[in-house]
Structure 1
Amino acid sequence: MTYDNILSEFHEGKTIITINRPKKLNALNRSTIQELHEAFDKANQDPKTKVIIVTGSGEKAFVAGADISEFADFNVEEGGKLAAQGQKLLFDFVENLNTPVIAAVNGFALGGGLELAMACHFRVASTNARMGLPETSLGVIPGYGGTQRLPQLVGKGRAMEMIMTAGMIDANQALSYGLVNHVVEQEGLLEFCETIANKIMHNSSVAISEAIKAINANYKDGVNGFDIEIKAFGDCFGTEDFTEGTTAFLEKRKANFPGK
């Protein structure tokens, strides 16, 4: 499939999606959000793809924010619809994918860019990365899940400060906050993410999918995460991956998971 704003490449079990609008610092417009949805959906449905990595083109930005020119003249109804559609199409969609998604944050991740990174299952940042939610400096608040996911990751107080000040934090501060898992030099960022992906790929894709579902359940209103975990745990016993994994363990060999 050919895209105008992104690139998608499959290599040895991994799909790498690159937001490719370098002249706009990879800002998210509606067309890019739609293309990202399609690329993530396609990769998630491909049984050969075991891990998805998303990054930005160039050396300056992962995603420097939303394309403000698209919504600067929106009214109340249009603004609400923009947030609802974006969350459904991309941000909530990515968070709930069965396939693990790693954000390779290679520069500025601001506004919608940080919200996209936070929707991924975890994040790795380059040393030059800068992150923040500057929306209050524009007279608005984060609308793609930022007010919800940032406190989950860094705590309420730090999230309040970041959103109220509209400031940026650097990669090491993001690491100390727990916003990213690792910080590496930019030239080695994708290679490092692929190394983690390779470790993930040794394990059962079916079990990983169930683990994502169970972990996410803890952050959903009205859902008992323990109940979801119990059901998911039990469901694993009916899979071919469970049979292979336990048999391989007892036979003292590496498992060759069928992904079923």
Structure 2
Amino acid sequence: MDGRRVSGRRARLRAAGVATMVALALTGCGEHRGDVLAADAATADAKSLNEALGDRNRPRDAATIAATEILGEARPLAPPEEGSTVRREALAWSGRVSGDEHATIDVRFVASVPERSAGSFGDTGHSAGEATRCYRYELRMYRETSYREIDCPSGAAPPPPSAAPVPKVPDDGSARLTAVLRTATPQTLAGKVRAAFPQEWITVDTTTHEGALVAAVGVPAERDCLLLVRTPAGRIEAPGYDRVWLEPGEIGCRTALYTAPPR
């Protein structure tokens, strides 16, 4: 009888011990899990940014890329981590994406996860947590962006970079070119169009074709092109064309878009 009592007491003690260990284990898992979730969020956002930067096909300096494609408001995380955010900070930027040149941008990701209470049995919830991760991105023309983790520097981030204006045909370009075409002759066409668009980043191509005056004005690197024709009857027309012909290796922004389009 005494033996059975001792055995029962031992069984109850073992069961209580197991329950205590399970409770401690569950509590321990949740105690610092907020920091783990925050670290995972920062790492995931770094990968997402690398995918978004992707394959570069426009010339840009590092400051412009950082200002327009990396920085912004802190991004909220998707459920079930409502209230969590990841903030990006540009730490350093240099170079440009153009030809054989490359741009380098260092980014700090600061993730914040609020405390969440357990919702059901087996769900321990988690504590509030924060994590910081830093990555270096290298961008090259016509190549996929690459990135790697780096040590985070101490101290605050520098003032955010500013974007440089993107070269483009002026907003009043159509009006300018129309005015030139109305008064130009075959002999004065090229000079008048260049005078109307003196910017060094703008290309000008002119010709005469079957009695028509043709002018193409554009920024090839941006696939920005204005093509107008003055017909023999004096009308100003904007011929249509497939914009794929503006891509590198194609015709580009030239009068051949009208005089000799691909078949």
Quick check: TM above 0.5?
Answer: no
Larger proportion of helix: 1
What's the TM-score, normalizing by structure 1? 0.25
**Whose Rg is larger?**
2
What's the TM-score, normalizing by structure 2? 0.25
